[in-house]
Amino acid sequence: MQLSWIDWVVVALYFAINLSIGVYYYRKASGSVGDFFISGRQVPWWLAGTSMVATTFGADTPLVVTGIVFQYGIAGNWLWWSMALSGMLTVFFFARLWRRAGVLTDMEFAELRYAGKPAAFLRGFRALYLALPVNTIIMGWVNLAMAKILELTLGIKKLDAVMLCLGLTVIYATISGLWAVLWTDMLQFVLKMSMVVALAVFAVRAVGGMGALKHALNAHLAPSGSSYIAFVPDWTSGWFIMFLVYLSINWWASWYPGAEPGGGGYVAQRMFSAKNEKHSLGATLWFNIAHYALRPWPWILTALVAVVMFPHIKDPETGYIRVMIQELPVSLRGLMLAGFAAAYMSTIGTHINLGASYLINDVYKRFLVHDKPEKHYVNASRVATILVTVISAIATYYMHSIQGAWKFLIAVGAGAGLVFILRWFWWRINAWSEVAAMSSAAVSSLFLQSRFADLVTNIVRRYDPKLPMGPLDATDPHGFAWLMILTTSFTTLSWITVTLLTKPEPEWKLREFYRKVRPSLAGWRHIAELEGGERPQSLKWNFLDWGAGCAMIYLSLFGIGKVIFGEWVLGIVMIAGAAAMLRFLFWDLDRRGWESLT
């Protein structure tokens, strides 16, 4: 792709602004580890929420959405649309609880909720597990996406592309921690959303408009057997079983960045950084609305155009980039590259900062080096930031498919999500419950994807003849569905058994946790009585808010889609229904108080 000197000036100016933000916040982030990793808990809801949205919009997102649309059509996006159900749980059940917990990282929660050596082991185990293998996989696929973009647009080799982008990102992330990440996220979100909308407009025009695009897509079915423009797959299609798994299991059972059951990761980090409980709830609500309802359609439209323009492309994930190269006006190419850089840097910057926070707060400071001045830990945080960056660069070379990495990570955590939800609402959950859930999920998932699982897969194949021979393959619809079903079943059985066979947490720890976090009376009744009687509970209204929130998301998402495809009446009715759901949510939150007991 040919760039003019003006394009290069635009790209250079973009990087200069980002680095300037990092320098500006250097002193503000240097006071303590809390300032470096959670901005001193002074972040307003709109900044924290927008940062969450920007983080989930990585350079990989348009590419993987394009790959999904090529294979499954629009309906394939239920892989991540289903996670809205989990996201809304976080808004109405967990956002205020996380903020009350007052921890620096979600790993630190282990020693708030549990006691003794098991709690300490869990904290260190989860911190290392998420900071290194899991965070490395996530950063690896984002690096891979940016490498594909730069290889196709500028002809830069994979190694050079990864090192260039990582180097620029790590500078501002190392200098000033979360403050720089938050404000650059705001800038980056505005830029990248503007550019993907512009690209979608030019792409649709290039194929003759929306009518011509629909006509071309209706002439063929996706490889999965579904219509390209159907919002829900036909029940006769080959991947309908996977769609059912998304809706019945995926959203509550699996750990996934940005949609962790019960909240976690960078979403929890932003909740910790919020000014108070109201800002914490407002941030997660805005994040889910923007993430699921407002952002997807520009990516999807460009992906559909790529299907029409490049139907036999070898790597479908690159279809998005090819449309950009072919159809974007020369005058906007510099801005578009800056937009991709923004998408990349917002995601990588967050995961660098998050991974370093786990290594320093939950491993280095907790277990290795105690009682040092805050300046020592801030400097160690900067070193950890560089370490996490280098490890992610190495991981990139072992990845070839972004969508495959997504599915692998979902499958490896299948079944553990239920523990992360129930630990807030059932006193009997203990530290070993979480250890059992995480380890059994990883072991069973990897086993089922290995050549040693023939006995199990042969039994399953009797009930599902469409399941391919060999180990369960996460990239195959039936393989992924059974991988989720079996892993979740084994994991759930394992952690429940371990919970009932091990001792509950000491009463003093349960009472201490209950006083600080004030979870619902449900599941904590005898602890509540010890603490002085019953507290008012509002789980019923929280469930109503959750249902209304999910309805709002899906009505908005599909209403906008209907309008885009010319079904104006139905689309407007659905959008009006979404507005009614939002009005109900604000009425209930105002009535009960945004900081009411959960």
| Average pLDDT value for residue range 339-344 | 78
Can you give the pLDDT at residue 263?
83
pLDDT at 164 over 80: no
What's the whole-model pTM score?
Answer: 0.86
Handedness of CA 132, 133, 137, 138 (dihedral sign): negative
Express as a percent the part of the chain with pLDDT over 70: 89
Q: How far apart are CA 466 and CA 237, in angstroms?
A: 12
pLDDT at 598 over 60: no
On average, the pLDDT of the chain sits at 85
| Average pLDDT value for residue range 290-317 | 93
pLDDT at 322 over 80: yes
Q: How far apart are CA 195 and CA 123, in angstroms?
A: 41
| Average pLDDT value for residue range 268-274 | 84
Non-local (6+) Cβ contacts of 336 within 8 A are 195, 198, 199, 324, 328
| Average pLDDT value for residue range 424-435 | 94
Handedness of CA 445, 449, 455, 459 (dihedral sign): positive
Q: How far is CA 297 from CA 59, 105, 560, 579, in A?
A: 16, 33, 8, 19
Largest separation between any pair of C-alpha atoms in the chain = 72
Please tell me the least confidently modeled range out of 197-201, 234-238, 475-479.
234-238
- Please provide the CATH number assigned to the domain covering 1-219+261-400: 1.20.1730.10
Q: Contact 310/75 with Cβ under 8 angstroms?
A: no
Q: Contact 87/265 with Cβ under 8 angstroms?
A: no
- Other C-beta atoms lying within 10 Å of the C-beta of residue 133: 15
pLDDT at 206 over 90: yes
Coil, strand, or helix at residue 227?
strand
- pLDDT, tens digit, 9 for 90 and up, residues 252-270: 988 766 678 888 878 888 8
| Per-domain boundaries in the chain | 1-219+261-400, 542-598
Q: How far is CA 162 from CA 134, 145, 180, 347, 382, in A?
A: 19, 10, 21, 14, 20
Higher-pLDDT residue of 16, 70: 70
Structure tokens at 408: 């692998």
Q: Tell which residue, 289, 371, 348, 160, has the closest CA to residue 554.
A: 289
pLDDT at 416 over 90: no
Q: How far apart are CA 498 and CA 568, in angstroms?
A: 54
Q: Contact 377/365 with Cβ under 8 angstroms?
A: yes
Express as a percent the part of the chain with pLDDT over 90: 36
Structure tokens at 413: 């955590």
Higher-pLDDT residue of 140, 67: 67
Non-local (6+) Cβ contacts of 363 within 8 A are 124, 127, 128, 131
Q: Contact 395/131 with Cβ under 8 angstroms?
A: no
- pLDDT, tens digit, 9 for 90 and up, residues 452-480: 888 888 888 888 888 888 888 877 888 88
Confidence bin at 175 (pLDDT 50/70/90): low
Confidence bin at 399 (pLDDT 50/70/90): low
